[in-house]
Structure 1
């Protein structure tokens, strides 16, 4: 990593800490500069604005989640396994990146255009990727749920909740949490045992 990239990473990390501790509105560029030993005015040589910092942090979080999702489901066509892997990646990301998840959810209200539309588009794409998994499973008869969309919201909330309470130095462990949440997700969609096809439940929009 070159010096410029390193400095930008330090700035983003300091901003992230302060957004978690104080909130976006209560944090100033001077606060961010002081946290890394740069005078407030000099900080503008490295970043355009506090708003750009927030958008960069949340946008990077969404990029990482989308990339993790795609990597997780690659290599298998089995509907149950694809959902299991996707939920595992979702939960583990939120366990390992609690600051990013916290800011990404709480500070959506602080985004202004055009950043807000961009981020909301990323969030919609991520949710749609999960909904597609559920819908495909319902179509194949592997999952039995009336509303893939509502099931998707419930599954996504599993991971976001982990970011609130999970701690690396306490139990349950990350592996325990990931395993449990994947099992809960499969129950949410009523995953059928292998080989059983039941088309008796009609989806609702």
Structure 2
């Protein structure tokens, strides 16, 4: 199929992703229509299918890419940190800064989990589990070394994440 004049494959896909991110953030996944998305990008609605298979695929890709980037940047933030206290400080600083600068992505990844189909939901929950596991490992290391006193690593992990993520919703620097 011929490309519409002025459309450029990779550039169009990036425009679709940006517009999709904004529209889902502003209106919610269920309220965003593909026709609205196409109009926002400046292409025919049918042309979207040259770039995305379904609206669900777009949501999954946006959330998956966000969490993969979150994990990649976290690993960089923790790189070279010695000891559990230094790692925990780095984790906290990273989490807050990342969540403050990626508010749309974070909001969608958290609030639109409910909109994912079961197989996509399971894949995203597994990726989120990898992020949670990074913190759990820091806490476990701290307990093993006597730096932290934690009776339940899983509860502490979720409590810290909830506290940090909650901070990002109201704090304005």
TM-score between both structures, scaled by the size of structure 1: 0.77
Number of matched residues? 166
Q: Which runs of 5+ in 2 are unaligned?
A: 1-7
Report how far residue 166 of structure 1 moved. Answer: 4.3
The aligned residue for residue 70 of structure 1 is: 75
Q: Distance in 1 between matches of 2:10 and 2:167?
A: 30
Pairs within 5 Å for 1:80-159: 80-159=85-164
Q: Distance in 1 between matches of 2:171 and 2:109?
A: 17
Q: In 2 relative to 1, CA 102–42 (structure 1 residues): closer, same or farther, beyond 3 Å?
A: same
2:169 to 150, 164, 167: 164
Runs of 4+ in 1 over 6 A off after TM superposition: none
Q: Distance in 2 between matches of 1:35 and 1:21?
A: 13
* 2:26 counterpart of 1:21: yes
Cα pair 1:102 1:164 within 8 Å, conserved:
no
Pairs within 5 Å for 1:157-196: 157-167=162-172, 173=173
Q: Which runs of 5+ in 1 are unaligned?
A: 168-172, 174-205
Q: Distance in 1 between matches of 2:34 and 2:170?
A: 29
Q: Distance in 2 between matches of 1:39 and 1:159?
A: 42
Q: Distance in 2 between matches of 1:27 and 1:102?
A: 15
Q: Distance in 2 between matches of 1:45 and 1:88?
A: 40
Report how far residue 10 of structure 1 moved. Answer: 1.3
The aligned residue for residue 37 of structure 2 is: 32
Cα pair 1:61 1:100 within 8 Å, conserved:
yes
Q: Distance in 1 between matches of 2:118 and 2:13?
A: 23
Cα pair 2:21 2:105 within 8 Å, conserved:
yes
TM-score between both structures, scaled by the size of structure 2: 0.90
Cα pair 1:95 1:162 within 8 Å, conserved:
no
